[in-house]
Amino acid sequence: MNRPETHEFAPYYNTYVSLIEDDTVLPVLEAQAADLRGMISGVPEEKGTYAYADGKWTIKELLSHLIDGERIFAYRILRISRGDKTPIEGFEQDDYIETSNANDRLFADLLDEFEHERRANLLLVKNLSDEASLRIGTASNNPVSVRALVYIMAGHVKHHVNILQERYLS
């Protein structure tokens, strides 16, 4: 899948798209679940409720946010790739985390859920035709292409993994 052009997504999302080099999105998507599991595997369960600053998510909340993101990006990819022109609303990530019960969950369960979501999303993405990947819809009041959503999904995880490494696990 070719890299999206900058007009295919809102400028805000360049933070995520720019983290994916060239046309390497599929290998990145394929590796992220295992990479995340490897990163968390040595972290004691009790550190899961650690946040690096007041008002920041805990490690488990960050993982829950990645799961929410997987579901939401997949929903957007599905709808737009199928030609649905109905605008897709945004979501308030902090409200989702507040009601996620993430801190009561085990790392293994969070990682399993992310992995299952990602595997399903890979099947969806690999089945997209070139034509479908170029379709543009509206999400969060902005035009976005299917291929941009795929890059955003991969870059979103990479962005949060970078934060996890730098601020939680260093």
Residue 92 domain-assigned (yes or no): yes
Q: For residue 1, tell me if it sits in a domain.
A: no
Q: Is residue 45 part of a domain?
A: yes
Decide if 88 contacts 140 (C-beta within 8 A).
yes
Cα–Cα distance measured from residue 53 to residue 42, given in angstroms and rounded to the nearest whole number: 22
Within a domain: 61: yes
**CATH assignment at residue 151:** 1.20.120.450
Q: What is the DSSP letter of 4?
A: P
Does pTM surpass 0.95?
yes
**Residues 114 and 66: beta-carbon distance below 8 Å:** yes
Query: Is residue 34, in this structure, part of any structural domain at all?
Result: yes
Range of the domain at 104: 6-168
Strand partners, 88: 139
According to the model, what pLDDT value does residue 170 have? Answer: 86
Does residue 162 have a pLDDT over 90? yes
> What pLDDT shows up at residue 95?
97
Q: What whole-number distance in Å separates Cα of residue 61 and Cα of residue 109?
A: 13
pLDDT tens, 21-50?
988 999 999 999 999 999 999 999 999 999
